[in-house]
Amino acid sequence: MTLDEASNLIIKLAIKIHNKLGPGLLESVYQRILAYELRKAGLQVQTEVPIPVKWDNHTIEDSFRADLIVESGILIELKSVEQLLPVHHKQVFTYLKLTNLNLALLINFNTPLLKDGLHRIVRNFPDNQTPPTLNQ
């Protein structure tokens, strides 16, 4: 399965959850249900993954936790906020750099239509190159 195929499945399942539950729940509820649905679909899912930050030849363990990492290739940052701000996008891009991943989904479940809360963030894919498949 390619990163694109996996991200499309993640989006499809997030929309399913949002259609059934709607906005307004805590982020942790959406996270647990999305992780459950992704595992049910056969994907490998890690939750609350501790990510270290290296600084001055020192590793600061557990500096932040990624909400979800799917198939060791897609970082998912979930929000349940009134409005996503530019800092949320910057935060996710920094998470990609720190994890050395290239694809993230920023999903805000607190929107009337989930499509308005879905953002795909990509780093280090040349325009003329197909994104790699998972587990390469």
DSSP string, the chain: -BHHHHHHHHHHHHHHHHHHH-S-S-HHHHHHHHHHHHHHTT--EEEEEEEEEEETTEEEEEEEEEEEEETTTEEEEEE--SS--HHHHHHHHHHHHHHT-SEEEEEE--SSSGGGGEEEEE-S--TTSPPPBTT-
**Is 59 part of any domain?**
yes
- One pLDDT digit (tens) per residue for the chain, 136 residues: 888 999 999 999 999 999 999 999 999 999 999 999 999 999 999 999 999 998 999 999 888 899 999 999 999 999 999 999 999 999 999 999 999 999 999 999 999 999 999 999 998 865 545 554 444 3
Q: What's the domain count of the chain?
A: 1
**Is 129 part of any domain?**
no
The whole-number pLDDT of residue 16 equals 97
**Is 18 part of any domain?**
yes
What range defines the domain where residue 56 resides? 3-122
**Is 102 part of any domain?**
yes
